[in-house]
Structure 1
């Protein structure tokens, strides 16, 4: 094995390169990762495409001092995503739509379980802290969307905004990028639905409600837990549970159909809340509800286990065992039809409990049966067509 090791101070990373000749490990005093207040991921693990593994090592100078100090805060930065289009297509049978828009790459909400984290590896960044601190936005999203909708080949169908990263994450308070996208869709009378775990969505009720009155808009609010401590650890910069329930009530009072997504359900952690969540969301005015069990593809498995060790070490073994019981002994299954629901007795029990609670409170399954008949194709220069 050939090792290239840069070892100086305790906070310096060691770059280790394995050329495949040996599986021997260097005897380094690796420093444990330390979580930061307000961040979900505990570490900044390397992406799957990186050739080197980076670890913080203790050279004996700073290790003891660092034990008495808080981990340094990582500030959020915002770069530009130079995408040439904003509508993303999918052919997944697991979701009731074939197109979506994500105004941002990365998400400051910091949900440790977020299935979109591995996408940051394509940028040469970490799916860990980088995903929630090094964000990218699409400043010309509204113009690009209008251009795509103006194509004569384009045929309207519901567009879902926020399928990977939250369109109402904190940075949107200033950028208002999501609002600009909704304005284009409203001008064109193009049906859309929003997915968010932020109360900021109520800011745009003035745009969403008129479209909803024509059956051309709906909102899905993600509610993971009613436990403030658990929610704060799982989703540190997302709206608190009571704020999400307030948002559901305001949206519903404005005549906007609201679906609740209980996602993810984590056995041994928040599955005890299923019936309480369904009842609370019904009381807040939700019309439908659905659930997704925890998914741990690629780097997320390691990130989630780190998170459990940091916050719930006494439950770690049980939670991971239950997850594997839903995944045929694995931490994840990627097959359509099972990746969001799992298999086996644990997954079946979760589904049955949701079905029973949904029926008890008169809620329906999620639907995207929105009206596309009023679509008005814009011209490429932003003007609406006369015919």
Structure 2
């Protein structure tokens, strides 16, 4: 008796009285307005589960359609505000993030893997279960008020977007800016949202005193691509409008053309030109990184949206990170976390991208001056607010 698919190697499945139909995995489908197509398990799960088609689905005509996943806000009382960074390839030493998870749903986001530490999926959970740190401003004020605090430029939104949709209601980012302004502490922030314009009344005066700078990420000018790559982030033209508004208000503004994904967003020079025309004066880029669960999520996304080029994209990403075919096959390795190469890659393809970026920047006039923020104005006593005056 045959016990499953392929029990007799010479008999095709489905032929013979005892043959069983092949087990078929349930196909995933793209979800409108979401980057991930499901909730894959995180790497700390004790058990691995896979969905499969048991053959009954076709007869379940009266089964209600699955409702689209909704965004859920979870409150957290954080234990600290500032996160220290000692990576030599990152330009700031301290950061503060008011949210965990991000509704923008960018499929490539390296921060997705951090949801695993919360026992949640780096897939849909990352973009639908958003943790808001309700005490983040009070914590930051206390930490800046410590006499031993040594000022360095603090970055807001280094992990998840500080102006994602829920910021309109919760205003945690605005509260952080107010605290930093009270303390006369310099900071930068990075976003993909036009929501940054709301806080121009705070940012412009601080920028005039060399205490604030902003970076706006524009991955592509292709609105169709942006809609599936970064489904709930602002449209490219909206981000350009934000750059223009910031520049006209006197806020130093730069553009991040990151991440660069081979054979996907190929308009690097056009993005830089549009951002420069809008008023950006500095620019930087990184290549796509696929740590931990992000590798599987990106592979699934490519199969859903670009199946005809998925293998080529993944092979080039592998090349960018110096991963050999032997590493990929034998060790399942898809990413090299070395600080020397992880941001810009290594090898011939990385060098060609490096040349494209720097030639475009030289032609357009980017990066001729640094954003020099003033550390000397910080006073720990000012972080306490009005009480510090008495």
**TM-score, with normalisation over the residues of structure 1?**
0.89
- Larger Cα-atom Rg: 2
Q: Structure 1, unaligned stretches of length 5 or more?
A: 1-26
Q: Which structure has more helix as a fraction of its residues?
A: 2
1:184 and 1:164 mapped to 2: Cα distance? 20
Counterpart of 1:101 in structure 2 is: 96
Counterpart of 1:116 in structure 2 is: 111
Q: 1:340 aligns with which of 340, 343, 368?
A: 343
Structure 1 residues 206 and 380 mapped into 2: Cα distance closer, same or farther (>3 Å)? closer
Structure 1 residues 249 and 380 mapped into 2: Cα distance closer, same or farther (>3 Å)? closer
- Per-residue deviation at 1:320? 0.7
Q: Tell me whether 1:313 sits opposite 2:307 in the alignment.
A: yes
The answer (yes or no) to whether the contact 1:212–1:257 under 8 Å persists in 2 is yes
Q: Tell me whether 1:275 sits opposite 2:269 in the alignment.
A: yes
Counterpart of 1:184 in structure 2 is: 179
Q: 1:357 aligns with which of 356, 360, 365?
A: 360
Q: Tell me whether 1:323 sits opposite 2:317 in the alignment.
A: yes
- Per-residue deviation at 1:58? 2.6
SS at match of 2:219: coil
2:261 and 2:34 mapped to 1: Cα distance? 19
- Per-residue deviation at 1:376? 2.4
Structure 1 residues 242 and 302 mapped into 2: Cα distance closer, same or farther (>3 Å)? same
1:321 and 1:100 mapped to 2: Cα distance? 33
- Superposed CA deviations along residues 303-351 of structure 1, whole A, max 9, x for unmatched, are 0000000011111011111111111225211000200100011111011
1:65 and 1:258 mapped to 2: Cα distance? 55
2:59 and 2:107 mapped to 1: Cα distance? 28
What RMSD over aligned residues (CA atoms) do the two structures have, in Å?
Answer: 1.9
2:164 and 2:100 mapped to 1: Cα distance? 11
2:140 and 2:168 mapped to 1: Cα distance? 21
- Superposed CA deviations along residues 65-122 of structure 1, whole A, max 9, x for unmatched, are 68x9975301110111221111110101011110001100000000000000000000
- Per-residue deviation at 1:386? 4.2
1:249 and 1:333 mapped to 2: Cα distance? 37
2:178 and 2:75 mapped to 1: Cα distance? 21
- Superposed CA deviations along residues 22-64 of structure 1, whole A, max 9, x for unmatched, are xxxxx85421222211000122110001011222233322256
Q: Tell me whether 1:157 sits opposite 2:152 in the alignment.
A: yes
1:241 and 1:198 mapped to 2: Cα distance? 10
The answer (yes or no) to whether the contact 2:179–2:383 under 8 Å persists in 1 is no
The answer (yes or no) to whether the contact 1:252–1:258 under 8 Å persists in 2 is yes
1:221 and 1:187 mapped to 2: Cα distance? 24
- Per-residue deviation at 1:368? 5.2
2:122 and 2:374 mapped to 1: Cα distance? 37
Q: 2:167 aligns with which of 138, 163, 172?
A: 172
Structure 1 residues 354 and 57 mapped into 2: Cα distance closer, same or farther (>3 Å)? same
2:375 and 2:304 mapped to 1: Cα distance? 48
Counterpart of 1:251 in structure 2 is: 246
SS at match of 1:263: coil
Structure 1 residues 103 and 238 mapped into 2: Cα distance closer, same or farther (>3 Å)? same
Q: Tell me whether 1:284 sits opposite 2:278 in the alignment.
A: yes
1:126 and 1:367 mapped to 2: Cα distance? 39
Q: 1:375 aligns with which of 365, 374, 378?
A: 378
SS at match of 2:285: strand
Q: 2:211 aligns with which of 212, 216, 219?
A: 216
Counterpart of 1:50 in structure 2 is: 45
- Per-residue deviation at 1:366? 8.7
The answer (yes or no) to whether the contact 1:115–1:297 under 8 Å persists in 2 is yes
The answer (yes or no) to whether the contact 1:158–1:368 under 8 Å persists in 2 is no
SS at match of 1:292: coil
Q: 2:120 aligns with which of 125, 131, 135?
A: 125
Q: Tell me whether 1:295 sits opposite 2:298 in the alignment.
A: no
- Superposed CA deviations along residues 145-168 of structure 1, whole A, max 9, x for unmatched, are 111111111111111000000000
